A = this chain, B = another copy of it.
Amino acid sequence: MSEIELAADAEDDVYALDRETIREVRAAVEAEDQAALLAAMEPMHPADVADLLEQLGSGERRELIALLGDEFDGDILSELDEGLREEVIDALSPEVLTQAVRELESDDVVDLLEALDEPEQQETILDALEGSDRLAVEQAMSFPENSAGRLMQREVVAAPEHWTVGDAIDFMRSTLDLPEQFYHIIIVDPRYRPIGYVTLGKVMSSDRVTKLVDVQEESFRTIPFDQDEEDVAYAFNQYHLISAPVVDDDGRLVGVITIDDAMNVLSEEHEEDLLLLAGVGDESIADRTLQIVRQRFPWLLVNLGTAILASIVIAQFEDVLQAVVALAVLMPIVASMGGNAGTQSMTVAVRALATRDLTGSNGWRVVRRETLAGLLNGMAFAIIVGIVGLVWFGMPMLGVVIALAMVINLVVAGLAGVLIPIILDKVGVDPALASGTFVTTVTDVVGFFAFLGLAGAILL
Contacts and interface: CB of A to CB of B under 8 A. Distances in A.
Interface in A235-262: 235-242, 259-260, 262
23 contacts: A3-B364, A8-B356, A8-B359, A14-B227, A15-B235, A17-B361, A19-B361, A47-B239, A47-B240, A263-B263, A271-B355, A277-B278, A278-B348, A279-B343, A284-B357, A285-B352, A285-B357, A286-B357, A292-B369, A299-B340, A300-B377, A304-B333, A318-B326
Interface of A: 3-9, 12-17, 19, 22, 45, 47-48, 51, 54-57, 169, 172-173, 175, 178-183, 199-201, 204-205, 219, 227, 231, 234-242, 259-260, 262-264, 266-267, 270-271, 273-275, 277-280, 283-286, 288-290, 292-293, 296-297, 299-301, 303-304, 306-308, 310-311, 314-315, 318, 321-322, 325-326, 328-333, 335-337, 340-341, 343-344, 346-349, 351-353, 355-366, 369-370, 372-373, 376-377, 380-381, 384-385, 388, 422, 425-426, 428, 444, 448
Contacts of A200: 183, 200-201, 204
Given A47-B239, A181-B201, A381-B300, A332 B351 contact: no
Nearest to A172: B204
Given A274-B347, A300-B337, A201 B219 contact: no
Copies in the complex: 2
Contacts of A56: 362
Contact of A325 (B13, B48, B304, B322): B322
Contacts of A205: 172-173, 175, 178
Q: Is the interface of A mostly helix, strand, loop or mixed?
A: helix
Given A173-B205, A274-B351, A358-B285, A242 B183 contact: yes
